[in-house]
Amino acid sequence: MPVSNNSAEMSSITPVEVRHAQLSRGVLGYSRTATDNLLEAIAQSYEQTWWERADLRDEVERLQSELTRFRDMERLLRDTLMSAEKTAEDVRTQARREYDLLLQEARLKAREIVMEAETEREKVRSEIRSLRSARTELRSSYRSFLQAALDRLDDDLDEAPPAIEGATVELTENGALRRLEPPDDDPSEDTETPTHV
């Protein structure tokens, strides 16, 4: 490649171009101007490459820093997600335990209520039987009492003196029997004789 004197054209020179550079020759060797131009082009290209390389290194460091930051964020998000999943699972497990416990307590309470109701029902049935038995006994007792009173009344009437047999008898308010005589009898015998039963 022939080297030109324009340094602007030589601002980006490749190693291959340097190796194949053909400098013009002068009396004492290579042309000084062509050599200086080539060196200037190489220096500019090297400097440009150096800055580009520095810029690229800075960019790589920035990208690596961002990548590290993103990886940290990813790890934090993953840890947070795992923690949230674990917390959710713990909450579900705790809720299930509480549900089972409440269900068990409700079943026990229902059994207690049923047992209390059964006990109360049996008490009521027993009380009903007792009342029925007491009613039956009371009826029997009243019957016996009334039968005894009737029997005593019959006995009292059977044992009454003959003068009372034909007489009419009435029960007074205090429970005494009073003999009533017919009106056509002797008025001197019109006295009432109370008889207690």
| Rounded distance between C-alpha atoms, residue 100 and residue 164, angstroms | 90
> Could you tell me the two tokens for 137?
């006994």
Residue type, 54: A
Amino acid 197: pLDDT: 45
Q: Which residues of the chain have pLDDT under 70?
A: 1-12, 19, 159-171, 173, 175-197
Amino acid 10: pLDDT: 43
Query: For the whole model, what pTM was predicted?
Result: 0.38
Amino acid 80: pLDDT: 94
Amino acid 178: pLDDT: 66
- Label residues 76-91 b or e (16+ Cβ within 10 Å = b): eeeeeeeeeeeeeeee
| Rounded distance between C-alpha atoms, residue 149 and residue 197, angstroms | 9
